[in-house]
Each structure stands twice: as structure tokens, then as C-alpha cells.
Amino acid sequence: MTRVRTRTLLIAGVLLALVLAGFVSYYASQSPDGLEKVSADKGIDAKEQDHQLKDGPLADYSVKGVHNERLSGGLAGVIGVGATLLVGTGVFWLVRKRSPGTDPAGARTADSGAGTGA
Amino acid sequence: MHIPNGFIDGPVSAGAAVVAVAGIAVGLRGARRELDERTAPLAGLVAAFVFAVQMLNFPVAGGTSGHLLGGTLAAILVGPYTGVLCVAVVLLMQGLFFADGGLTALGLNITIMGIVTVVVGYGLFRLALGLLPARHSSVPIAAFVGALVSVPAAACVFTGFYAIGGTTDVSIGKVAGAMIGVHVLIGIGEAIITAATVSSVLAVRPDLVHGARGLARPLELRSAGGTR
């Protein structure tokens, strides 16, 4: 099996996520999800309260002011993927194990891992 | 399965928030061992991928849909501690920007969709992998099993929270039956997506699948110098 470079895999994965959220999501089922359906059928939702940010610019996966449904939902999806990628990568980058030699004292990076697939 | 505001009362929602914060704290500690320069960007991608696939509701029986929860998938790809954090980031973005999942219910949602799916889904994945032959082709099968059960498990825990803090008076038996029934079906979708995604990454970069570490890898031809 062909081994792909880490960078290639990351770029392909991001593109796939963008296509799924930005384009394919338009074709997703509009039916209520399991919890929504059960709640409505059984009356669990009788005391449901509005979301605190229900009038936000991206509420319900549509961009406020963009009236074309496909464009609005797709744009919201792309923004969501981008924002999740940024926040997620940021958190994980801060949490990660520092390899020896990358301490903040300014020591040279000992990139001994180079060539092992990255 | 995003719980809106008002389904579960304040004290139980607050209790779940404490559980969620504790889970995230444990996740942050454990993720340090799972993440390095190479896998940290991959974990960010996994979070973004889970966000994207959660938008793709698929139809199940009777005018009902379901979507990926993603805890089992994230845990197998990047490790269980990081997996909890991946789902928590997704739920935080959805709650803050997309009005999906009440902010009062954020702790409930992180507990149910982040912690429960990872603990049950990844736990069963490890168990199944231990029973299967120790090779890469066993990983998607074990992933299928873990993901399949993680979704009704999440529905069970929702029912538990409803039983102690529900704001309406519906019989617990009815809630449990309906929630578990429909989420068994949604679990099949979760299992298919999880197994397919794990297989795809496994096919191109088995070394990047956290859950496949330590398994026999297929023989590889190398030159005498070790290059491929």
C-alpha cells in the first residue's frame, strides 16, 4: 500500500472536511435527529428554552444575511470546519509533548524524527 | 443528540458540567502523552472532520435522522484522552457559534457525547481488538463494535440524566425504550462511518492510527540501507 506523507494526509483530510461541510451537508437528512424525535413524540421538550445565542450570525448552521440556502449552509459549514481546525490544532499544539531540544531556552530543535515519514 | 436548554434541570446540568470539566482536565493531562509534533495537527484535523461529519444527518427509520457522534472514531485515531478533547472542542464550537446544543446543557452534552462515547466505544474497541487476531485487519472490525455500542450507551446515559433531572414528567421506561431503540439504529451508521474512516487512514498511514499501535504490520521491502 502506498504510504502518503503526513502533510499530504493532513491537506487531503482538511479538503475532505471542507467538501463534506460546505457542499455535501446540503444533501443531509432534514428529519429531526433521534433525540429531537423522541423528545417531540414523548413530550420531553415541553419546557425547552431557546438557545442563548439563537440570533447569532451562524445560528442553526446558516450565515445571517445570506439568503441562498445552499450558499448559507455551505458557508456556515466551511467556517465551522475552519474554526474547529484552528481551535483544535491550537489546543493540541499547546498540550503536546515537547521533544528534547525544543525547550524555551532557545536550544536548537533536534529534529531527529525527520525522514521517518513526515 | 445535542440536548437543548430546559430538558434537564439546573442542578443536574450543573452536576454534569462538573463531570465534563473533570473529564476535560483528565483529557488534557492524558493527551500530553498522546500528542507530539506529528500527531497534534492530526488531532486538530480529527476535530474538524468530526464537526463536518456531524452535519451529515443520515435517515434512519420513520422520519428520524442521526449523525456521527465521533467519540469512538477520534479515540481510535488519536487516542482516548485526545478523543474526549476533540469532541469537547466540536461541541463548544457548535454551542457557541451555531446555537446547536444549549449552553446550559453544554456539560451534559460533553459528558454524554464526549466522555461516555469515548469510554464505552474505545473500551469496547480495545476489548474486541484483544479477542481478534493481532493484525491490522482486525482494527476496523473492533472499531465497528465500539462505535456501534457507543451510541445506545450515550442514549442510556441521557435517560439516566433525564430520570434524575428531567423537567417534564414522562415515564422513564418510555424514554429509555424510545431513546435506546432509535439510537441502536443510529449506532449502525456510526459504526459504518467509524470503520470506513479508520480503514482509510490505516490503508495509507497505519503508523498514525493510535488504536493500531503495537500490532503486527505487513512486511515491507527495504533496501539494505533501510530506505524504501
Distance of CA A63 to the CA centre of its chain: 16
Q: Mention every residue, 6+ apart, whose C-beta is less than 8 A from residue B60.
A: A34, B66, B182, B185, B186, B189
What are the boundaries of each domain within chain B? 10-212
Task: Give the range among A35-44, A95-104, B113-122 with minimum mean pLDDT.
Answer: A95-104
Q: Do A59 and B85 touch (CB under 8 A)?
A: no
Q: What percent of chain B has pLDDT over 90?
A: 93
Backbone torsion region of residue A48, taken as left when φ is above 0, otherwise alpha when ψ lies between -120 and 50, otherwise beta: beta
- Average pLDDT value over all residues in chain A: 87
Q: Do B32 and A48 touch (CB under 8 A)?
A: no
What would the pLDDT profile of B143-165 be if each residue is shown by its tens digit? 999 999 999 999 999 999 999 99
Q: Which residues of A touch B56 (CB under 8 A)?
A: 20, 24-25, 28
Angle at B180 between CA B177 and CA B182, to 5 degrees: 100
What are the boundaries of each domain within chain A? 1-27+55-95
Residue A113 has pLDDT above 90, yes or no: no
**B103 vs chain A: nearest CA distance in angstroms?**
7
Indicate the class that CATH gives domain B10-212: mainly alpha
Q: Report DSSP letters for B79-107, one per residue.
A: -HHHHHHHHHHHHHHHHHHS--S-STTHH
What would the pLDDT profile of B175-209 be if each residue is shown by its tens digit? 999 999 999 999 999 999 999 999 999 999 999 99
pLDDT of residue A101: 55
Q: Mention every residue, 6+ apart, whose C-beta is less than 8 A from residue A92.
A: B31, B35, B39, B40, B41, B43, B44, B82, B85
**A106 vs chain B: nearest CA distance in angstroms?**
17
Q: Do A88 and B46 touch (CB under 8 A)?
A: yes
Residue B111 DSSP symbol: I
Q: Please answer whether residues A92 and B82 qualify as being in contact, where contact means their C-beta atoms are separated by less than 8 angstroms.
A: yes
pLDDT of residue A105: 45
- Average pLDDT estimate for B137-142: 97
Backbone torsion region of residue A65, taken as left when φ is above 0, otherwise alpha when ψ lies between -120 and 50, otherwise beta: left
Query: What distance in Å separates the CA atoms of residue B216 and residue B220, rounded to the nearest whole number?
Result: 12
What would the pLDDT profile of B60-70 be if each residue is shown by its tens digit? 988 999 999 99
Choose the closest CB to A95 out of B32, B53, B166: B32
Choose the closest CB to B99 out of A48, A53, A86: A53
Q: Which long-range contacts (CB under 8 A, 24 or more apart) does B24-29 make?
A: B24/B84, B24/B85, B24/B88, B24/B110, B26/B81, B26/B84, B27/B81, B27/B82, B27/B84, B27/B85, B27/B88, B28/A95, B28/B81, B28/B85, B29/B81
Q: Please answer whether residues B143 and B194 qualify as being in contact, where contact means their C-beta atoms are separated by less than 8 angstroms.
A: yes
Q: Which three cell numbers stand for residue B219?
A: 512486511
